[in-house]
Amino acid sequence: MLQLARIALAPLLLWQGARVRRQALRLPEAEGQRAGVTGEGLLVLRLLIVGDSSGAGVGASSQDEALAGHLSRALSRRLGGMVRWQVLARSGHTTADALEHLRVSEIFPADVVVTALGVNDVVDHLSPRRWLHQLDQIDAMLQQRAGAPYFTLHSAVPPMHSFPLLPQPLRWLMGAQALRMNRALSRHLLSQPRRGIQALPAHLHGKAAVRLMARDGFHPNPAGYAAWAEALAERLVREWGKRQRP
């Protein structure tokens, strides 16, 4: 059904897509170092964030207000110690781009990995099957080059049907494709206990999400990053706790 809709609406969708690209407000990536330490005390966790513009903090003025800052603080607070973190993310990156970026980057050892990828793959009409294969490649590479992380948490593709920037029916189509990707990833990970998918909090969906989005209508603002980070932190601490059990 989704493919039929894409074909039937192709001329309108192409026009809308070109118009959005021309008129979209282009915000910079968050300023600041892409690696650091948060909290005090003994080192309790090493975190790696791999992603696209959201991983790079577009919509926030600094990494402290972006995903890295909020997530590292949330983990430090919950675990009661120091979190060492690294961000390997760039605006516009598809999952394939992220894979190539990792191949040429210095990667610090990590205990847990968070991926924030998929929006640009939806825009590029990548098939779920190809997307899953690329995420598998990223996971395999990090197992070799990041000290065999204990857990990889894939943040679900955000609810693109709620993005104010996108006109209808383009918004509906991208939202439907994002949901399709997330469902495929959920099924794919059922037999992989070392990996998981984390949906965004419910209040980041629907009309209420507008107040948590940046001026471009496409990325989170600092409050949106904070809400997203809390959901990720809660899941990561739960998974990390399994390792501590005798």
Give CA separation, 64 vs 15, 58, 141, 168, 224, in Å: 37, 12, 28, 34, 13
Angle at Cα 142 formed by Cα 138 and Cα 145, nearest 5°?
Answer: 135
Q: What pTM value is reported for the model? A: 0.91
Strand order through the sheet with 112-116? 35-38, 82-89, 43-51, 112-116, 151-155, 195-198
Tokens coding 36: 């650091």
For 186-205, the pLDDT digits (tens) are: 999 999 999 999 998 776 66
Distance CA 134, CA 3 (A): 22
Q: What is the dihedral of CA 219, 157, 113, 41, to 10 degrees?
A: 50
For 15-58, the pLDDT digits (tens) are: 566 766 666 568 999 999 999 999 999 999 999 999 999 999 99
Q: Which amino acid makes up residue 226? A: A
Tell which residue, 211, 237, 236, 234, has the closest CA to residue 223.
Answer: 211
Average pLDDT over residues 71-92: 97
